[in-house]
Chains A and B, each alone.
Chain A
Amino acid sequence: MNRTMLAAVAMLCLGSGCASMGVEPWERDVLAKAEMQLTTDELEAATDDHIYFSKEASSGGRGFGGGGCGCN
């Protein structure tokens, strides 16, 4: 059901709603900054994912769920 909802949101965005959202190419100065990327430090993100994967029963969300360790 979640997938259906997401697909619906995506379609809505593509179809109409989001088409008027956003910025022109010349307005991307702020968005282009390193600190405005969704993941600013891949290594730190990977470290956190690994720590919390090892100590909690949840993983993933931002990217793939992880694995590759016998810790959980």
Chain B
Amino acid sequence: MSAKNHRSISLILAGASCTLLGAAAPTKAVAEEASAWDFNTSLLYYGEDGDRVKDFSVSAIAKRMFVDDRYLTLGLTVDGLTGATPSGAIRQDLPQTFTRPSGNAAYTVPAGVLPLDDTFKDTRVAINASWQQPVGESGLINLGASASKEYDYMHLGVNARYARDFNRRNTTVSAGIALSMDSLDPVGGAPTPLTPMLDVGDTSNRFGEQDKDVFDVIFGVTQVLSRNLVVQANYSYSMSDGYLTDPYKVLSLVDATTGDTLLRTPTPGFGGPSHQFLFESRPDERTKHSVYGQAKYFMNGKVLDASYRYMTDDWEIDSHTVDLRYRIPFGEDRYIEPHLRFYTQTEAEFYRLSLPDTGPLPAFASADYRLGNFDAITVGLKYGWQTRNDDEWSIRVEAYRQTGTVPSSQIIGNQASRDNYPDLNAIIVQVGYRF
């Protein structure tokens, strides 16, 4: 990368940060000392099997140190997403026709096939900026802002974190807060929860833009235990408030004995759903608590990075995550790093495979597989090397697999003979370059 390119990227990122932070432009200093910037860039491919989601992503983080240990960090990510995602409807022995989220057309899924909404296509641009500086002898403050935009979603956020060292800098205690103000403008309008998917052209149960606010608090302690071992423990609290429903997900309305989705006749000349589907409904509040612990241990050049997270929320989802990385150096300036991650979660209290047609409808129901009961495993390998001028390249390849089960109490009649949970296999390939 030439110095000229270096400088132009610096200026673009500095401009973006000033817009975000509303600060006076540090452009002059940047232009004069362009070489003070450090860049971390990456190209990512994320691909799910079948016709499901694919993501190509370009990211960059630029960091500049100013005098007195003050840092400006700027980040940019552009995602290009395509593919299909499970709609929430169950498999049937007959073909199923659905109205597209836009309400403008219909599509048909063959008999026995898991219904996927194939209109998923989006570009996401996310930027963030943060400023970090010492406060007094042993304090550190970090202020940040973030924004992202995709076709039907916009996010704006601010965050602040304060850390203070004790015991000859062997103990660090930190506290942070983050606020996020998001708005959704679903394609075709957000449907009224638990109302039916209607014929093509009928948008009478759709309404406009929705909002969601998220408030996060985090407390952490980092402790150096020995020359080779450092550990961290965090507690975090997160409260989401507003429209938490997925406007594109539905549930099948089924016969309470056979478990088959009820048939429906579209209005002649318009086209529309062949079966009865209801739009999902989630509570408008969610409170999550997480406890996170991490240890880094140096063993004759090799580094073990182990972490564990427990999360629980008031939707009755509990999850456990274990993440292990083991960095093994070899040669002068190379390393490999195997990675293993295990994840398990219980289903949300309102997770339903389908809704039987007897009795009143529940207030909340979702067939979103991400709110179901599943386990996931990630297996990966990273290879990194340093160039002669201290730039660093890395490539990692990982496989991610989710396998879920539907509680047996939710399986009705013929559903027992079908594959009810949409298992997921994905490949992650990321190439990184730091300079």
Contacts and interface: CB of A to CB of B under 8 A. Distances in A.
B334 interface: no
Interface in A11-56: 13-14, 18-19, 21-25, 27-31, 33, 35-38, 40-44, 46-47, 51-52, 55-56
Given A61-B321, A63-B218, A68 B59 contact: no
B56 interface: no
Contacts of B227: 23, 27-31
Contact of B237 (A3, A31, A67, A68): A3
Contact of A18 (B46, B167, B214, B218): B167
A43 B432 contact: yes
Contact of B432 (A18, A44, A68): A44
Interface string B150-175: 10110101010000001111110100
Interface stretch (B13-21, B96-104, B273-281, B284-292): B284-292
B406 interface: no
Contact of B223 (A21, A27, A36, A52): A21
B153 A58 contact: no
Contacts of A30: 227-228, 298
A37 B309 CA distance: 19
A25 B159 CA distance: 31
A21 B219 contact: no
Interface residues of A, number: 50
B294 A38 contact: yes
A68 B182 contact: yes
Contact of A57 (B298, B317, B430): B317
A6 B303 contact: no
Interface in B212-271: 214, 216, 218-219, 221-228, 230, 232-238, 246
Interface residues of B, number: 90
A22 B170 contact: yes
Contacts of B234: 61-62
Contact of A44 (B42, B147, B309): B42
Interface in B70-102: 75, 77
B40 A23 contact: no
A70 B150 contact: yes
Contacts of A56: 319, 343, 345, 370, 376
Contact of B148 (A19, A23, A68): A68
Contacts of A9: 221, 233
Contact of B289 (A2, A38, A63, A69): A2
Nearest to A30: B298
A67 B182 contact: yes
Interface string B385-409: 0000000001010001010000000
B25 interface: no
A51 B400 CA distance: 10
B180 A70 contact: no
A49 B309 CA distance: 13
Contacts of A13: 171, 221, 223
A65 B226 contact: no
A33 to B, nearest CB: 8
Given A2-B289, A44-B430, A65 B238 contact: yes
Given A43-B40, A65-B236, A60 B290 contact: yes
20 contacts: A3-B235, A18-B171, A21-B167, A21-B170, A22-B168, A30-B298, A33-B298, A40-B305, A42-B61, A43-B41, A44-B430, A55-B400, A56-B319, A56-B343, A57-B370, A58-B290, A59-B238, A64-B216, A67-B180, A70-B150
7 closest Cβ contacts across the A-B interface?
A22-B170, A68-B155, A70-B153, A61-B292, A61-B309, A68-B148, A65-B238
Interface of A: 2-3, 6-7, 9-10, 13-14, 18-19, 21-25, 27-31, 33, 35-38, 40-44, 46-47, 51-52, 55-65, 67-70, 72
